[in-house]
Amino acid sequence: MSTHPILVIGGTGITGRRVAARLADRGLPVATASRSGDRRFDWTDDTTWDAALDGVRGAYVVSLDGTVGLTAALVERAEARGLERVVLLSARGIDIPGHYGDDSMAAAGHLDAERAVRASGLEWTILRPGWFIQNFTEGIFRDELTETGELRIPAGDGATPYIDAGDIADVAVAALTGDGHAGRTYELSGPRPLTVAEALAEVSAATGRPARYTPVSPEEYIDGLVAAGVDPVTAKIYDEGLHPVRTGGEARVSDGVERALGRPPRDFAAAVRADLEAARG
């Protein structure tokens, strides 16, 4: 077995943590890279990159949202230092003009990163997931929900088939360790679209805590985030993510989990319950 570690860039995040854990469970050498990872890595400080990439032949890459050029530079550097295989986390719908609204910084960043891995000499696989189930339990919505029992976001009545981050990690690990995934782009979703109100009802049923949805305008949402200390660029990127939900563009189901793994994606309620059980230990 190779002694070269697989590097999980963004390995402390929602998907990266799961990718790293699955690789370690298989007994594979793995290192996480981020500002607080096993290997200190900062996207905004390229003097940290070489040490993070040392000895690495395979990598899972979570880019820094809203940046153009950084992932391309990292991929070029990594390839020069011996990287052979990369799995890139992108996002569903970035190939559809206007999907994330006009002049989306997030879409521009993901498209640029995708172009870079496709143009490289690496074995590459691109994952394009939709909204994660875990946004409600670990990610951007968790704190507001825990503190207030309410989620005030500009998602209208739109529905989306939320995807389990565990499924994303399973596809990433298959692509990092198995054959038949090179040159593939997997669009990943869960099995059924849910409105935010429906999703929150399932979260509430699983956690036993209130979780009410109040739709707000994009302007109110962005102003609220900025007032709470979120920088304006990040606030705009969060709102861009919700644009396709409120405009109805996120409702379709994608078959990437089935194509990559030969099994259906996990359902919303099952994933929330599994995460809660795992957290209890």
Ligand X SMILES: NC(=O)c1ccc[n+]([C@@H]2O[C@H](COP(=O)([O-])OP(=O)(O)OC[C@H]3O[C@@H](n4cnc5c(N)ncnc54)[C@H](OP(=O)(O)O)[C@@H]3O)[C@@H](O)[C@H]2O)c1
Residues that bind ligand X (CB under 6 A): 10, 12-16, 34-37, 41-44, 62-65, 89, 91, 106, 129, 131-132, 135, 139
Structural contact between residues 117 and 155, judged by C-beta atoms closer than 8 angstroms: no
If the CB atoms of residues 10 and 265 are measured against ligand X, the closer one turns out to be 10
Q: How far is the CB of 224 from ligand X (least distance, A)?
A: 18
Q: How far is the CB of 169 from ligand X (least distance, A)?
A: 11
Structural contact between residues 186 and 260, judged by C-beta atoms closer than 8 angstroms: yes
If the CB atoms of residues 131 and 221 are measured against ligand X, the closer one turns out to be 131
If the CB atoms of residues 89 and 260 are measured against ligand X, the closer one turns out to be 89
If the CB atoms of residues 78 and 106 are measured against ligand X, the closer one turns out to be 106
Q: How far is the CB of 233 from ligand X (least distance, A)?
A: 13
With b meaning 16 or more CB within 10 Å and e meaning fewer, what string describes 138-149?
A: bebbeebbeeee
Q: How far is the CB of 57 from ligand X (least distance, A)?
A: 21
Structural contact between residues 207 and 276, judged by C-beta atoms closer than 8 angstroms: yes
Tell me the residue length of the chain: 281
If the CB atoms of residues 129 and 154 are measured against ligand X, the closer one turns out to be 129
With residue 125 as reference, give the H or E element that holds it: strand 123-129
If the CB atoms of residues 89 and 199 are measured against ligand X, the closer one turns out to be 89
Q: What residue is closest to ligand X based on CB?
A: 13
Structural contact between residues 113 and 71, judged by C-beta atoms closer than 8 angstroms: yes
Q: How far is the CB of 137 from ligand X (least distance, A)?
A: 12
Non-local (6+) Cβ contacts of 86 within 8 A are 58, 59, 60, 61, 75, 78, 117, 120, 122, 123, 124, 125
Q: For 53-106, give the DSSP string.
A: HTT-SEEEEE--TT-SSHHHHHHHHHHHTT--EEEEE--TTTTSTTTT-TT-HH
Can you tell me whether residue 42 is helix, strand or coil?
strand
Q: How far is the CB of 105 from ligand X (least distance, A)?
A: 10
